[in-house]
C-alpha cells in the first residue's frame, strides 16, 4: 500500500474528548473516529487490526471445534420475555419498536437466539456436544460509555456457546475454551492473567476472566506471589488468619464520642486503631433492611453480600430509614442490640475487643465481643481482599494489580435451556435440558487493551501478530530517483514475499514521515537515505527497540521476513 493513497488521518494534537492513552493514540493515529457517544467507526488501519485479532480468535475457535455462525442484531422481545431477561436486563438493553409497534432490542448478547436455534434443530444426544460461535457487533446502552473503545455502547464481540449432554460434558467444553483462550492471548502477545471471577447476572457456576494487565484497567485483581491463584477482587476468597482463640476482655463499656463519626475520627481522637473497630453498613436487599459488619480497616465486598443474600437488588440504605429502625444516624451505628438481619465477616468473631457505634448519637461501645454482646444471622466471608492477605490456596501472600477484562468464560449450566425449554433426547429417550456454557471475547476492547499495553511517547507499538502492516519503507526524499528506485524495489520484493508493507511515497519531509510511522506503530521501518544508499545499504529499525541498524540493500527483504517470523512466534508459557 502506498501511503499517498491510504486514508489515515493522523492528528498532531490530542482530541479533548480522550483522556486514556489507548483512546488518544487510536484517534491521533487515525485508527478510529467517534460516530456518537460510545459508537466508533474503524478506519482502514483500525479495521486491519480488528481483522487480525478476529482471525486469531477464529482460528483458535475452529481448532477447538467451534463452528462460526452469523446471528441477527435485531432480536424480538418475545425471546427475551421467555427467558425472563426482558425485564431483568433493565435500561442497559437497547430497545426499539418497528412500524407495527412491536418491541425489539439490539442484541446485548445471544444466549436467547442461540438456545432457541439449537432447540429447534438439535434433538438427539448424538448431535452433542455442539460449539457455535459468532463474531459480531453487540449493543449495550451503557449508563456511561467511556475510555473510547474500552467501554462502548456498540462493540465487537466473539461469543461461543457450548451445548452438552451433561455437566461432565460441559467441563470438557469449558476446558477446551480455557486452553483456546490462553492460546489466543499468547498469540496476541498481550501480558494477561486468567482469574477466578464472579458470574454476575449471567448466572451459572464456574467462571473465569482474562485480564490484560494495565494500570488503567477497570478491574482490580489479586494474585498469589507463590502459587498460580488469581482472582478478581469481587471474587477473591478471604480466609481469616488461623489465629488463637481471642483473649478475654472486660465488660462492654459505653464511651462518649461527641462529633466523632468515622473510623478515622475514633482512631485519631480516641486512639482506637481501625482494626480494633468494626463498621456496620446498612443495605436494602430487595426492599428489606439488612446490616453487614466488617473490621474497621476493611472494605465490605458488596458482591459477596449480594451473593449471600441471593437478592436481585442491593442498595445502600437511606439514612432516615436506618435512624427510624436503629435510633441513630450513620456514624454511630453498631451491631449490638440491633433488630435487623446481621451479616458478619469472618474476621469479626476473632477480634479481642471491638469498638463500635452504640446506636445512639455521639456514643460508642468499647470492649464488645462477638458471641457475648451480639450474634449474627450469618458469619461469612464479606470483605474485599487486599494486598498482603494470605493466599487461600497456599502459604503465599496476595498482590494486587489492575486489569482490563478482555475475555470471560462461564459455565451456564441449565439456566437458559430450562428457561427456554430447550431439550434433547438422551440414550433412554428422556427429554433433558442442554447443559450450556458461554465464552466471550471483547474484540474491540482487546484492540484498545493492546494499545494500552504497548505504546511510548511517540505512539503505538503494535505486537507483530496484530500490527496493521508489518513494515513501512521510508525514502528520506522520494524525489531523488535513486532513493525512490531502491524503495520501490524493496517494496516489490517484500510484497512478493508476502510481507504486508507500506511505502511512504508522500511528498513530505523526512521528519513528518518518521513521526507518522512511529505514531501508527508499524513494527519495522526501512529507511532509505542518501548516505547509506551510496554504500548500498539501508536502515532497519524495530519500533519496539528504537535503534537502527544498517543492512545491505539486497539482504533487507530476507532479514525483514526473518524478523517478522520470529516476532510472530507464539510466546508459550
Contact positions vs RNA (CB under 7 A): 10-17, 19-20, 28, 34, 36-38, 92, 108-109, 142-147, 151, 157, 159, 200-202, 218, 302, 314, 405-408, 438, 440-442, 445, 458, 476-477, 479, 509-512, 514-516, 518-519, 527-533, 539, 541, 548
User: CB 78: neighbour CB atoms within 10 A?
Assistant: 13
**3-state DSSP of 290-353:** EEEEEECCCCECHHHHHHHHCCCCEEECCHHHHHHHHCCCCCCCCCCCCCCCEEEECCHHHCCC
Question: Which burial class, exposed, middle or buried, applies to 426 when counting CB atoms under 10 A from its CB (0-12, 13-18, 19+)?
Answer: middle
- When the beta carbons of 234 and 389 are compared against RNA, the nearer one is 234
Show Cβ contacts of residue 527 under 8 Å, excluding neighbours closer than 6 positions.
Answer: 474, 476, 514, 538, 539, 540, 541, 548
Separation CA 477–CA 231 (nearest Å): 54
- When the beta carbons of 95 and 146 are compared against RNA, the nearer one is 146
Whether the CB-CB separation of 345 and 295 falls below 8 Å is answered with yes
- When the beta carbons of 343 and 370 are compared against RNA, the nearer one is 343
What's the closest the beta carbon of residue 290 comes to RNA, in angstroms?
A: 15
- When the beta carbons of 214 and 348 are compared against RNA, the nearer one is 214
Whether the CB-CB separation of 490 and 504 falls below 8 Å is answered with no
- When the beta carbons of 260 and 406 are compared against RNA, the nearer one is 406
- Degrees to nearest 5, angle at CA 571 with 568 and 573: 165
What's the closest the beta carbon of residue 259 comes to RNA, in angstroms?
A: 25
What's the closest the beta carbon of residue 532 comes to RNA, in angstroms?
A: 5
Q: What is the DSSP letter of 397?
A: B
Separation CA 380–CA 368 (nearest Å): 19
What's the closest the beta carbon of residue 258 comes to RNA, in angstroms?
A: 29
Q: Tell which residue, 68, 47, 156, 45, has the closest CA to residue 460.
A: 45
- When the beta carbons of 220 and 373 are compared against RNA, the nearer one is 220
Q: Tell which residue, 145, 139, 141, has the closest CA to residue 37.
A: 145
* DSSP per-residue letters across 93-154: SEEEE-TT--EEEE-S--HHHHHHHHHHH--BGGG-SEEEEEEEEEE---SS-BTGGGB-SE
What's the closest the beta carbon of residue 537 comes to RNA, in angstroms?
A: 9
Separation CA 379–CA 366 (nearest Å): 21
- When the beta carbons of 360 and 480 are compared against RNA, the nearer one is 480
Question: Which burial class, exposed, middle or buried, applies to 493 when counting CB atoms under 10 A from its CB (0-12, 13-18, 19+)?
Answer: middle
What's the closest the beta carbon of residue 329 comes to RNA, in angstroms?
A: 19
What's the closest the beta carbon of residue 516 comes to RNA, in angstroms?
A: 5
What's the closest the beta carbon of residue 191 comes to RNA, in angstroms?
A: 18
- When the beta carbons of 257 and 527 are compared against RNA, the nearer one is 527
What's the closest the beta carbon of residue 229 comes to RNA, in angstroms?
A: 21
Show Cβ contacts of residue 100 under 8 Å, excluding neighbours closer than 6 positions.
Answer: none
Separation CA 178–CA 164 (nearest Å): 16
Whether the CB-CB separation of 282 and 315 falls below 8 Å is answered with no
Q: Tell which residue, 406, 462, 452, has the closest CA to residue 18.
A: 452
- When the beta carbons of 27 and 322 are compared against RNA, the nearer one is 27
What's the closest the beta carbon of residue 527 comes to RNA, in angstroms?
A: 5
- When the beta carbons of 177 and 391 are compared against RNA, the nearer one is 177
What's the closest the beta carbon of residue 190 comes to RNA, in angstroms?
A: 14
What's the closest the beta carbon of residue 385 comes to RNA, in angstroms?
A: 16
What's the closest the beta carbon of residue 154 comes to RNA, in angstroms?
A: 12
- When the beta carbons of 85 and 470 are compared against RNA, the nearer one is 85
Whether the CB-CB separation of 25 and 493 falls below 8 Å is answered with no
Whether the CB-CB separation of 462 and 49 falls below 8 Å is answered with yes
- Degrees to nearest 5, angle at CA 113 with 111 and 118: 95
Separation CA 520–CA 7 (nearest Å): 12
- When the beta carbons of 276 and 518 are compared against RNA, the nearer one is 518
- Number of residues that make up the chain: 573
- When the beta carbons of 77 and 314 are compared against RNA, the nearer one is 314
Amino acid at each position: 500500500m502506498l501511503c499517498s493513497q491510504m486514508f489515515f488521518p493522523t492528528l498532531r494534537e490530542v482530541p479533548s474528548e480522550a483522556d486514556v492513552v489507548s483512546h488518544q493514540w487510536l484517534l491521533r493515529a487515525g485508527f478510529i473516529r467517534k460516530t456518537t457517544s460510545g459508537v466508533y467507526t474503524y478506519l482502514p488501519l483500525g479495521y486491519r487490526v480488528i481483522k487480525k485479532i478476529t482471525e486469531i480468535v477464529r482460528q483458535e475457535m475452529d481448532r477447538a471445534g467451534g463452528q462460526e455462525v452469523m446471528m441477527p442484531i435485531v432480536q424480538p422481545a418475545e425471546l427475551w420475555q421467555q427467558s425472563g431477561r426482558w425485564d431483568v436486563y433493565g435500561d442497559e438493553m437497547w430497545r426499539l419498536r418497528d412500524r407495527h409497534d412491536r418491541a425489539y432490542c439490539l442484541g446485548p448478547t445471544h444466549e436467547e437466539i442461540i438456545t432457541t436455534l439449537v432447540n429447534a434443530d438439535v434433538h438427539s444426544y448424538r448431535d452433542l456436544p455442539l460449539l457455535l460461535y459468532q463474531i459480531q457487533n453487540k449493543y449495550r446502552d451503557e449508563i456511561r460509555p467511556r475510555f473510547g473503545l474500552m467501554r462502548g455502547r456498540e462493540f465487537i464481540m466473539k461469543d461461543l456457546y457450548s451445548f452438552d449432554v451433561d455437566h461432565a460434558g460441559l467441563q470438557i467444553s469449558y476446558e477446551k475454551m480455557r486452553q483456546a483462550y490462553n492460546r489466543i492471548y499468547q498469540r496476541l502477545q498481550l501480558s494477561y492473567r486468567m482469574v477466578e471471577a464472579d458470574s454476575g447476572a449471567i448466572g451459572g457456576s464456574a467462571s473465569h476472566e482474562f485480564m490484560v494487565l494495565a494500570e488503567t484497567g477497570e478491574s482490580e485483581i489479586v494474585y498469589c506471589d507463590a502459587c498460580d491463584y488469581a482472582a478478581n477482587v469481587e471474587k477473591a476468597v478471604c480466609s481469616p488468619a488461623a489465629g488463637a482463640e481471642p483473649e478475654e476482655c472486660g465488660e462492654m463499656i459505653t464511651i462518649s464520642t461527641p462529633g466523632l463519626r468515622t473510623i478515622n475520627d475514633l482512631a485519631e481522637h480516641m486512639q482506637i486503631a481501625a482494626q480494633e473497630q468494626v463498621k456496620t453498613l446498612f443495605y436494602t436487599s430487595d426492599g428489606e433492611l439488612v446490616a453487614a459488619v466488617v473490621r474497621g480497616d476493611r472494605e465490605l465486598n458488596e458482591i459477596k453480600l449480594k451473593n449471600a443474600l441471593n437478592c436481585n437488588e442491593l442498595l445502600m440504605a437511606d439514612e432516615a430509614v436506618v435512624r427510624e429502625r436503629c435510633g441513630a444516624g450513620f456514624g454511630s451505628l453498631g451491631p449490638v442490640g440491633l433488630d435487623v438481619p446481621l451479616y458478619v465477616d469472618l474476621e469479626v468473631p476473632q477480634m479481642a475487643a471491638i469498638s463500635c457505634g452504640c446506636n445512639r448519637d455521639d456514643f460508642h461501645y468499647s470492649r464488645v465481643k462477638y458471641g457475648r454482646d451480639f450474634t449474627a444471622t450469618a458469619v461469612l466471608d464479606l470483605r474485599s481482599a487486599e494486598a498482603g492477605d494470605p493466599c487461600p490456596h497456599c502459604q503465599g501472600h496476595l498482590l494486587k494489580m489492575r486489569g482490563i477484562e478482555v475475555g470471560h468464560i462461564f459455565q451456564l449450566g441449565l439456566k437458559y435451556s430450562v428457561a427456554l425449554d430447550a431439550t434433547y433426547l438422551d440414550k433412554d429417550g428422556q427429554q433433558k435440558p442442554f447443559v450450556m456454557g458461554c465464552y466471550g471475547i471483547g474484540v474491540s476492547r482487546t484492540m484498545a487493551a493492546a494499545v494500552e499495553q504497548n505504546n511510548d511517547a511517540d505512539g503505538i507499538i503494535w505486537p507483530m501478530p496484530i500490527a496493521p502492516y508489518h513494515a513501512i519503507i521510508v525514502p528520506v526524499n522520494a524525489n531523488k530517483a535513486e532513493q525512490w528506485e531502491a524503495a520501490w524495489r524493496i517494496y516489490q520484493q517484500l510484497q512478493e514475499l508476502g510481507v504486508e508493507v507500506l511505502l511512504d511515497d508522500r511528498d513530505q519531509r523526512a521528519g513528518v514521515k518518521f513521526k507518522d510511522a512511529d505514531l501508527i506503530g508499524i513494527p519495522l521501518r526501512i529507511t532509505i537515505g542518501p548516505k547509506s544508499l551510496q554504500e548500498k545499504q539501508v536502515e532497519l529499525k524495530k519500533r519496539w527497540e528504537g535503534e537502527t541498524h544498517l543492512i545491505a540493500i539486497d539482504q533487507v527483504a530476507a532479514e525483514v521476513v526473518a524478523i517478522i517470523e520470529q516476532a510472530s512466534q507464539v510466546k508459550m508459557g
